A and B are shown apart, each in its own frame.
Chain A
Amino acid sequence: MKRPAQSRVELLQGTLDLLILRTLLFGPSHGHAIAKHIQRTSEELLKVETGSLYPALHRLEAAGWVAASWEKSDKGKRARYYRITALGRRHLVNEESKWNAFARAMRLVLKPIDGEAG
């Protein structure tokens, strides 16, 4: 748990949904695994707060973008597995393109001062 604080990036508002949906593209998963996956794939730069993960999962479920069911985990315990729905995929595609446009725009604006980026 003692990781250097400066190496971590604060999650931007609204990006957690995107990260969760994206993670679920690889297959159904439970809350803990989703958090760990995001952390790992972001090279520990992103840390998902448990306090916002579960409300987010239930919010996505309420919106119909993910569906949940109780299944046995690999260790044989009962866990709540989330899986992305067709509606969720469409939403993800939408959000991804939005995010890419946003990221591109940020890069373009920030480039001249950065100088070195290319």
Chain B
Amino acid sequence: MTSFFRKLSWWMQRRRKDDELREELQFHLEEEADALHAEGLSQDHARWAARRDLGNPILLREETRTLWTWTLLEQAAQDVRYALRGLRRSPGFAVVAVVTLALGIGANTAIFTLLDGVMLKPLDVTTPHELQLLQIIDEEGPDPQLGIGPKARFSHLAFQRFVDALPPETTLAAMSRMTLFHVRFGGATRVRATQGQLVSAEYFSLLRVRASHGRLLDQADNRQIDAHPVAVISHTLWRELGSSGSIIGQPISVNGVPITIVGVAEAGFRGVWADKGTELWLPVSMQHALGYRQNYSVSRGQYNAPWLTQNGVTWLTLVARVPDEQRRAFAAATDAAYRADLLAQAEALNIPPERLALALKTRRLLRTPFEHGLSTLRQQFASPLYLLMSLVALVLVVACVNVANLLLARGMARTREIGVRLSLGASRLRLARQMMVESLVLAFAGGAVGVAFGVWLSHSLASLAGVDSILVDTRVLAFSVAVTAATAMLFGVAPALRATRVDPSRVIASSSKGVTASFDVARMRPLVSAQMAVTFVMVTGAVLFGRSLGNLANIDPGFDRDQLVALSFNPVASGYAREEVPALQRRLLERVRTQPGIAAAAVSFCPLAAGCRNSQTVSLEDYQPAPDERVQVQVTDVGADYFTTVGMDLLEGRAIDARDIASAAAVVVINESTARRYFGGRSPVGRRLARGSGGPFRFEIVGLVRDARTNDLAEEPVPTVFVPLVAEAPGPWVIHARVIGDPQVAMRDLRESINRSEPGLLIERSMTIEGQLQQNLTEQRLVAYLATAVGALTLLLACIGLYGVVSYGVARRTSEIGVRLTFGAKRSDIVRQVIAEGGLTAGVGLAAGALLALWATRFVGAMLYDVSPTEPTLYLLVAAGLVASVVLACLVPAGRAACVDPVQALRAE
């Protein structure tokens, strides 16, 4: 310790110490010279001998100095200062290198921010890696929807059987999907749309969350069906409501049901959904009272009866906390419970033994890590994000190659300086280290600019992707720093080693500037060719994705997409009594239709282009399905005037009209896909069908409409059967309105007017159908925009690279060009030759790139719409564009070559 302080105090006065050492050595020299002089040497000889005896005084001082300084640190600081000085001396190089790196690092930071936010970030709860999601794997494999699809849903009875079988120290909790609750606080008329979940008693202890006020939900809240009107709110919601401690015990109304707030969850807890925060938690026992009916499957169950006691209704997501050492016990216990559950269900539901045997054989329980929680975006963006991440990584590699090329050229220009320093006794390692420091300085300058650029980029990307909770945090910064350091290694090491592999004697002896110039330019060319190849692939990809997006955006959805708006309602949840709903619907339709600027309006169950799927089994009188075929169609409930309002053409027969609605007539309208698939070429009008499998064919087909992409613009039309939306339907339902003039303005007016006349009714969503269609293409748009940006970036980098190599070659050969000009070479020949050389380098790369693109684009075929990745014109187009860029990149150095003044060039030699 004392020696540390001594060293510190020495380090503080190191300048004085240095002077003292100089004096001490000087004294030694004089003493030695005196002694030698006394032995009989002449004064001069004695001095020289003393000097020789002392050796290299600088080295000696350097070595002694290490005792009172932290040498490595000092040298590093020196290197940084030296690097900064060097970069200031060649600002052109510095700017190009920093900008190149900033583009590469920035693009990586931006995509990583998005990837991290959507895919990688673990839940912000204690030890999230201990959490596991239960789902069922069957003959088709696990759920493609990453834990939010039907295979990850269980009945409440099954959940209780699992809980009974759990090994000690493990916890299992059940929860519903996130849903929009209509909540009234403190007796207000207005409804607040609140994101909430029904959860079992174990939910909060599973996530190790404490209450900041009041209490959380416990076992006592899950005893009896519909008998526990209590709720816990999030800390965020509590703050929004005024942070009052007296909120505990206050009555609120949730979906029209009186509920008491019993607690506030701890600050910062947002639930288990990665991309939206949960604001309200209610006990699962309240499912029936609250009218929660989402994300469920019913097989041999009652959809209208309480779900809690039914084996046939599956609706709960099961998440467990399993300490590492309990994994095995947990797996065994849950497997056994699942088997017992299958047997119990089979008995309760009278499932035939052969189907049970098959189920036991093919279905089993799958436990998947749950540390990232649930997300609706994850599935949608997984493949585009990973694709983009690999693209931008490739861009960074291209950027590194560029900077490495620049450094190589710079290293060659400094051959002489390095040779001199080597011969003066600098060690090669020290020089290489110093050049690495220069690379690091460049990389971190590029990294700093890049992170700023990346933050900006990630925000615009997030808004493009419709993701809100994206932030650049320490994880992202750590990633950027790591990328930056790796970048420096990638582009710095080879040039540093190469530049210091210099034979000092040769350098000093040779008077000419270029020692190994031609050799090294040849060495740089393959890198440029490789860049060109990568560029070809990137640009081809950009064109493909761009065209695909264009095709999708201009697709005819089968209805009239312009000037159409939709507003959705859930009156019962907003607190209307069931018997009030038909009157409400009539009032709303009346109000909308008489509103100025509205041409037509109709009610329906699903909004257009919102991915509202309602698949049901039907039977057709004239169609005999194959033994294992189930006739599944999309069933859409629509009111009067629906087809004229949305602009779906009626091809045959008639539409569903007001009389059908009023009399609840057994009539349906089908679309072309249904007709094609089940009626062949014959006219379906007048035929009959039944809803469900078999049974009397009660419904008469009265009309045939054109196919439309009602679910999603990127999805082919599916067989659809339109049925009358009965007037008593409690909702939720949607009103579509055809507007005259600006749809945004019309929509705002509609909202205002409805809010005025029905203040207690929540408009769950209101949007233009055009906006909804645009949203359908978010993923494709994201990919197309980014692929274009990445393609442009790579092209820019490749051109900079080519420009660098060609101009370096020209600079090296100035004297040769001078000689040739003197001997009568035409300037146009010189220009042609420079372009030809650059063109050859690029051409090799472009040819390789075309082949590479042909191979690589096969992997994105599934992400393309109506574009063939093997179309020859596409490749010709890309090649033409790239050749033009190559010529441009070569033109400047070629021009410089043509302007060489022979006299000057030769004199310089």
- Which residues does A use to contact B, with CB under 8 Å? 1, 30-33, 36, 49-51, 54-55, 58-59, 61-64, 70, 73, 75, 77-80
Contact = CB atoms under 8 A, between A and B. Distances in A.
A55 B64 contact: yes
Contact of B3 (A30, A50, A62): A62
Interface stretch (B52-60, B491-499, B571-579): B52-60
Contacts of B23: 78, 80
Interface string B24-37: 11011011101110
A54 B53 contact: no
Contacts of A70: 20
Contact of A80 (B6, B24, B60, B68): B24
Given A51-B60, A59-B67, A64-B3, A30 B53 contact: no
Q: Interface SS of chain A: helix, strand, loop or mixed?
A: helix
B363 interface: no
Contacts of B36: 1
Contact of A50 (B20, B55, B67): B55
A38 B59 CA distance: 24
A33 B34 CA distance: 12
Contacts of A31: 24, 27-28
Given A1-B53, A54-B60, A77-B30, 11 more contacts: A31-B27, A31-B28, A50-B60, A51-B55, A54-B24, A55-B64, A58-B68, A62-B68, A64-B3, A80-B24, A80-B27
25 contacts: A1-B36, A1-B49, A32-B27, A32-B28, A36-B35, A50-B32, A50-B53, A50-B54, A51-B54, A51-B55, A51-B56, A54-B24, A54-B60, A55-B63, A55-B64, A55-B67, A58-B64, A62-B6, A62-B7, A62-B10, A63-B3, A77-B27, A77-B30, A80-B23, A80-B24
Given A50-B60, A51-B55, A58-B67, A32 B49 contact: no
A78 B27 contact: yes
Interface in B764-791: none
Contacts of B64: 54-55, 58
A46 to B, nearest CB: 15
A52 to B, nearest CB: 9
Nearest to B17: A58
A73 B20 CA distance: 16
Interface string B522-539: 000000000000000000
A58 B55 CA distance: 18
Contacts of B27: 30-32, 73, 77-80
Among A1, A31, A33, which residue has the most Cβ atoms of chain B within 10 A?
A: A1
B473 to A, nearest CB: 45
Nearest to B56: A51
A54 B25 contact: yes
A61 B6 CA distance: 10
B676 to A, nearest CB: 93
Contacts of A61: 67
Given A1-B49, A64-B3, A78-B27, A32 B32 contact: yes
B30 to A, nearest CB: 7
Among B6, B24, B49, which residue has the most Cβ atoms of chain A within 10 A?
A: B24
B244 interface: no
B663 interface: no
A48 to B, nearest CB: 11
Kindly list the 4 A-B residue pairs having the minimum CB-CB distance in the complex, ordered from nearest.
A32-B31, A51-B55, A80-B24, A58-B67
A13 B266 CA distance: 66
Nearest to B63: A55
A55 B60 CA distance: 8
B51 to A, nearest CB: 10
B21 interface: yes
